[in-house]
Structure 1
Amino acid sequence: MAEVHNRENHVVKYQPSREGVEHLVMHELGHLDRQLEARNIGKNQLFTADRQCKEQFKQDNQYIANKLEKQNIPEAKIQGFINQIFDGLNSQVYNTPIDLFIEQKIFDKFPDLRPYQFISLLNLEQEYIQSATNKDVHEFVPKKIIRINKILSLVNTIQFKELYGVDLIEEFNPSKKEINEAKELYKEWLAYFNDGEYAVEYELINLWADDFGVSEYFKLVDEDERIGNSLDSTVDQIEEDPLSLENDESVGQESFSNKGAPAGEMSTVMYIVDALQFFEGKSTDEIRKVGFEIGMLGRNGIDTDTPEKKYSLNSIPGKKFSGRHLLAYMYTAFQKFDPDVDTGIDFDEEYEQAKELFDKG
């Protein structure tokens, strides 16, 4: 049961329902475990993606936008689709090496969780297979990214085979070269795992990104490194948020439900639109992961009093959130995968408004 607290000490509680949810919770704790251990030895790093990274990605894949424009797709939809590919690629590049460490530790250290782990990973494998073999999606996704997605998914599949003896590799319709590349990456990960050290996942992330030619799309920075507010960051903020909707000083001054608070309602609508854009095309498991991770954060309370972007999610690397922004994402996530769950967050009206804006493109 997770709790989210606001300024007036209102509490949001929910009980997620999913096969293997025990494994999913343990997996998120695994992320926290590795972060804390890396922090203890002064080697924790943050995964970020700034405007320059996004612009490089858009430039490298401009032909996709051109292809969609020829089909009279609205500009907002095109940019949302490209952002979705960008976020999905970064998420997979960041999470795959770390997930390998976490799943191996769960298997080795918590044998009672193995039935839940098996069910959860099997469900995830089915989603990997669907993503890797969906020809409709492949029509508009760059071939390079399709290849990366398949190879990294195969790395997870190889581990699943090693843990539980279930071989699903051929379900991906892979080429011999793709299988060999995935096996080499798994072998490389295994060497790092056998060393028994923390924070080595960051080396793997950079190594694999270099191998795939996508290292320009993100940055790993030392957690202790303090980056000042430069002119470039100010320009970035103006270009990304010209109306200052994400930095509205009035946000957080109203009650949790936004009732009678136009500023809070407007910002929440925009946050939900952002969430709808991010979740578009995502698998149910990916969306669940976001919702549950926010719920885990909520156990310590989420500050909705200030617009400060002080929260980050392993499931959405490179993005910072304010407390209200997080709640909008959690509400939207549950609307996507389990709308009958009472989250206790009264964003019903804002969600309907956001859907109208999103559908209009």
Structure 2
Amino acid sequence: MEKLIENYPTNSEYYRNLAQTYEEEGQHEKAIDILIDALKWDPKNHWALILMGNIYARYFDDVHTAMTYYDQVVESDPGNYIALNNIGGAFLQSGKLNLAERYLSKAYQANPKYPNISLGMGLLNLQKGDMRQAFQFAVETIRNEQKSAGQVYQTGLQLALDAAQYLVKQQVGKETLVDFIQEIERLTDKEVRIEKDEYLPTAAKVEIAENHGRDFHRILHNPKYPQTDHLIAHELVHLKLAAEARTAGNNMLFIAKNGTYNQFLKTIEASLKKLEKRGIPDTSIAKYSKDLFDGILRQVFNTPIDLFIEDILYRDYPELRYVQFISLFQLNQEAHKAVNDPKIIDLSPPDILTKSRIFNVVSARHFETLFGVKMEKQYQIRPFEKEQIDAFWEEFIEYRNDREAGEEYELVQHWGEDLELDPYFELVEEKEYRSKNEKTSKRPEDVLTQIEKDPMQEGALEEDEQEELRKFKEQHTGKDINMAVAMYMVGALEHFKGMPKDQVKDIAFEIAMLGRNGINPEKKGYKVNKIPGQSFSGYKLLAYYYVSWAVAIPEMLKELQMPFDKEYELAKQMTES
């Protein structure tokens, strides 16, 4: 700069740049002397005037002198939002909050979309202790700043998280949540019970009273996720949507189709063999397979509905936005890791991984529309994935602002079909389903008959086994309780009594692995490695299958689709008596 000044001694900007280097090195007196030369050649050099004011404000605590320079800038160009922002920032750094607010407010009025200004306003409100305003300006900053790796964006994001966390700790939104619970109880005419469940595979879930034969709804939440209020509120909206759809006569039930789990296993066979070759225990592979199946179906059902739910929470319950922001940030971070971790990518079936990634990116895009957080950019998306994501998003936008009760189920069906996951589930009308099940309850024999008709089992029965089956059917025809299964369950309950839950879970997964190709109820000679010294008939194995999951993994019992509830209740009564 000195060389340039030597060659061009009348250029004001060269002097200003040289002064800035001295200012950054801490030679403030030297910087002032050079700025005097800069202003001699151009008295209206705004950046020289601002720098002079900054030095007096920050390093000499001389607000009066600083103002003489700042005012010259404002008077000559009152709409210069960058200059106003710089002045406000200088006062903010020096702790002059009233003066900082004066200039930052003028800058914000001049250009509210400039992220540096909204960040300054956020930091100002942070120092003033107004966390609500700090959060709001922080969200505006990350929404308007496109460079998500830059300092302005990252500072704004951290400010939003810090302000939201503070407000949540102050119980902001708690009254709103209590009122919301009471609203749902009035709407559904049923109590809402909230319980912790550390074994829950997701952050939270709702058990709707009608679906579980209860006179109350139950919301379960995993304590691993600390933003409990958001999780509860989210599940309350699930209840609200279902109630509205029921009132409109078009509520739907999402049901996994019988027998499709084995079909799913065949589609991921290559990945399972890879796990086997690496020496992964069968119990772990069984758990992995079931988790994968359940997980992708949860995404099919929840992803489109969750978009509407978070919109409703954001729009109708503003006091819950702070906990909503923190919770969605954590959930989206986990969703990103779930499809981008190299270890997960190496072991996961590519097709399922792709479909899961598509769902996750749609959720990330939605999070950005609410709070500006740019998580979609973190994903490495292939062109065909981007095309499908855009198609899903466009369909959601069509429904977003004028959704009728129950229309969210249309997206569930459409997206499931588009990703070719519809063979594994069906949406059935609640009225029709309940009416049908009131007339004819599904008995355990129906399930055994389905297994019996499985083509994989054709010709597997010996002559004496066929006779045993014939006698069994004659004995139990027309009865509601399958006594053989119930008696086997008594033995299972006795076997598992006092056993650590993790040990029971290992047995449950081993039996699930045995059942990958179906369990033939008439077959004998099944072996369970973790129950040495016993031989299992098909009926006995089915009973132990059910009981092990009921004891160790009750939250997933329904997904087995084994209608032995009455037998299990009877077995429990017999063991208790």
User: Under a length normalisation based on structure 2, what TM-score does the superposition of the two structures give?
Assistant: 0.41
Residues 91 and 317, structure 1, Cα contact 8 Å, conserved in 2: no
CA contact (8 A) 1:92 1:149 kept: yes
2:353 is aligned with what amino acid?
Answer: I
Note closer, same or farther for the CA distance 1:91–1:248 as it changes in structure 2 (3 Å cut). Answer: same
Asked if 1:27 is matched to 2:259, the reply is no
From 392, 398, 422, the counterpart of 1:185: 392
Q: 1:3 to 1:114 in 2, by over 3 A?
A: closer
1:169 Cα deviation (Å)? 1.0
Q: Which has the larger radius of gyration?
A: 2
Partner-residue secondary structure (3-state), 2:351: helix
SS of the aligned residue for 1:46 comes to strand
Alignment gaps of 5+ in structure 1? 5-13, 252-260, 278-306, 326-361
Structure 1 letter corresponding to 2:371: Y
What is the rounded CA distance, in whole Å, between the counterparts of 1:150 and 1:316 in structure 2?
27
> Between the two proteins, what is the percent identity of the paired residues?
29
Residue aligning to 2:357: 150
SS of the residue corresponding to residue 195 of structure 1 reads coil
Instruction: Answer yes or no: is 1:112 the counterpart of 2:326.
Output: no
1:182-331 to structure 2, matched below 5 A, reads: 182-224=389-431, 225=433, 226-227=436-437, 228=440, 229=442, 232-235=446-449, 244=485, 248=489, 262=494, 265=497, 269=501, 273=505, 318=559
Q: Please give the alpha-carbon distance, in whole angstroms, between the structure 2 residues aligned to 1:16 and 1:76.
A: 26
Asked whether the equivalents of residues 19 and 119 of structure 1 are also in contact (C-alpha less than 8 Å), the reply is no
Question: Equivalents in 1 of 2:342, 2:307: separation in Å?
Answer: 28
2:301 aligned residue (94, 98, 106): 94
Distance 1:171 1:76 in 2: 34
Which of the numbers 256, 271, 279 marks the counterpart of 1:49?
A: 256
1:273 counterpart letter in structure 2? K
Query: Does structure 1 conserve the Cα–Cα contact (< 8 Å) formed by 2:283 and 2:506?
Result: no
Q: Counterparts of 1:173 and 1:15 in 2: how far apart (Å)?
A: 30
What letter is aligned with 1:111? P
Query: Is contact 2:258-2:561 (8 Å) kept?
Result: no
Give 1:189 deviation, angstroms: 1.3
The Cα offsets for residues 101-144 of structure 1, whole Å up to 9 and x where unpaired, read as: 10000001011111111000000111011112111112221111
Cα separation, partners in 2 of 1:263 and 1:30, compared to 1, 3 Å:
farther
Is 1:36 paired with 2:250? no
Matched AA of 1:92? Q
Aligned in 2, Cα 1:169/1:237: closer, same or farther, shift over 3 Å?
same
Distance across 1 between alignment mates of 2:557 and 2:301: 10
8 Å CA contact 1:50–1:218 kept in 2: the answer is yes
Q: 2:342 aligns with which of 110, 135, 140?
A: 135
Please identify which structure carries the higher helix content. 2
RMSD of the alignment, in Å? 4.0
Residue identity in the other structure for 1:223? E
Quick one: structure 1 residues 272 and 200, their matched pair in 2 at CA, closer, same or farther if it must change by over 3 Å?
Answer: farther
> 8 Å contact 2:496–2:504 — kept in the other structure?
no
Aligned length: 271
* Partner in structure 2 of residue 288 of structure 1: none
Residues 1:175 and 2:382 are matched in the alignment: yes
Partner of 2:275: 68
Q: Which has the higher contact order (CA 8 A, sep 6+)?
A: 1
- Counterpart residue number, 1:299: none
Contact in 1 for aligned 2:227/2:326 (Cα 8 Å): yes
How far residue 314 of structure 1 moved from its aligned partner, in angstroms, is 10
Q: Report the Cα distance in structure 2 between the residues aligned to 1:232 and 1:160, rounded to whole angstroms.
A: 45
CA distance in 1, matches of 2:487, 2:372: 48
The code of the aligned residue for 1:79 comes to A
Whole-Å Cα distance in 1 between the matches of residues 389 and 488 of structure 2? 43
Is residue 257–residue 423 contact of structure 2 (8 Å, CA) maintained in 1? no
User: Which amino acid letter does the alignment assign opposite residue 447 of structure 2?
Assistant: S
Cα-to-partner distance string for 1:224-281 (whole Å, 9 max, x where unaligned): 3124426542446899xxx958994799xxxxxxxxx94783799489618996xxxx
Give the 3-state SS of the residue equivalent to 2:233 in structure 1: helix
CA shift digits 1:265-323 (9 cap, x unpaired) = 3799489618996xxxxxxxxxxxxxxxxxxxxxxxxxxxxx9x9xxx9999956797x
Q: Choose from 160, 164, 168 the match for 2:371.
A: 164
Are residues 15 and 269 of structure 1, via their aligned partners in 2, closer, same or farther at CA, if it must alter by over 3 Å? closer
Moved more, 207-216 or 180-189: 180-189
SS in 1 for 2:347: coil
TM-score, with structure 1 as normaliser: 0.64
Find the aligned partners of 1:245 and 1:267 in 2 and give their Cα distance: 20
In structure 2, give the amino acid aligned to 1:187: E
Equivalent residue letter for 1:233: V
TM-fit CA distance, 1:156: 0.6
Return the offset for 1:52: 1.4
The 1:21–1:211 alpha-carbon spacing in structure 2 relative to 1, beyond 3 Å, is: same
Q: Which residue number in structure 1 is paired with residue 217 of structure 2?
A: none
